[in-house]
Amino acid sequence: MEDILIKSINIDNNICDITIKKRLNFVDALSFVQSVVFTIVNEEDQAISYVLKSFLIKKNTIEYYTNIEIKDNKFDEVFDFIDRNNLYNEVINCDGFDIVEYHRLLKAIDDQIEFESQKIIKKSKIDDLIELLIDFVNKIDTDKISNFINKFDKIKNINEEKIIKAIVNTQNKK
């Protein structure tokens, strides 16, 4: 069983033979997933651009599974090229294409996006907590804190004997 398929397709009104990989090796599969996920997930801005997901999956499918080189990095032109020529569907619907493996990649993308989303949510909650603590500390009246600490300083000089004598004296006065 060969791992490469040859298919004739129409690209911009020219019939071209393209090669299509039935499945990706581990390194390419990992790169495919990571490329999609880390292009749409921005941890710094705590944002996920779901709108790009479909486009990136189509683009990566063409780039990783075929010998078609997409040189232009302008999203709109690449998207038009892929859709105008129906390249994505030509690849995933090709006889012999390992659609089961492909669906595993798509699930891995979804799982990784969910994982990254949870990291962003947790980081956001931690950031919110830090902000609340800073706000709390900024609202503390330092004079009251100083008075409170001074009272504890006075208490530390009291020993057990003095406490017992105070209790006994109080009892005797009754």
Query: Residue ranges per domain, the chain?
Result: 4-136, 141-173
pTM above 0.75, yes or no: no
> Higher pLDDT residue, 105 or 119?
105
> Higher pLDDT residue, 139 or 54?
54
pLDDT for 160-172, tens place per residue? Answer: 677 677 777 777 7
Residue 24 clears pLDDT 90, i.e. is over it? yes
Beta carbons of 56 and 39 less than 8 angstroms apart: yes
| Confidence class for position 101, pLDDT limits 50, 70, 90 | very high
pLDDT (average), residues 57-71:
91
pLDDT for 106-142, tens place per residue? Answer: 999 999 999 988 888 787 777 778 888 887 777 777 7
Residue 86 clears pLDDT 90, i.e. is over it? no
From residue 170, alpha-carbon distances to 97, 162, 163, 164, 167 in Å are: 93, 12, 11, 10, 5
| Confidence class for position 1, pLDDT limits 50, 70, 90 | very low
The whole-number pLDDT of residue 115 equals 92
> Higher pLDDT residue, 163 or 104?
104
pLDDT (average), residues 88-101:
93
CA nearest neighbour of 11 among 66, 56, 60: 66
Beta carbons of 34 and 110 less than 8 angstroms apart: no
Residue 6 clears pLDDT 90, i.e. is over it? no
Beta carbons of 107 and 115 less than 8 angstroms apart: no
| Confidence class for position 100, pLDDT limits 50, 70, 90 | very high
Residue type, 51: V
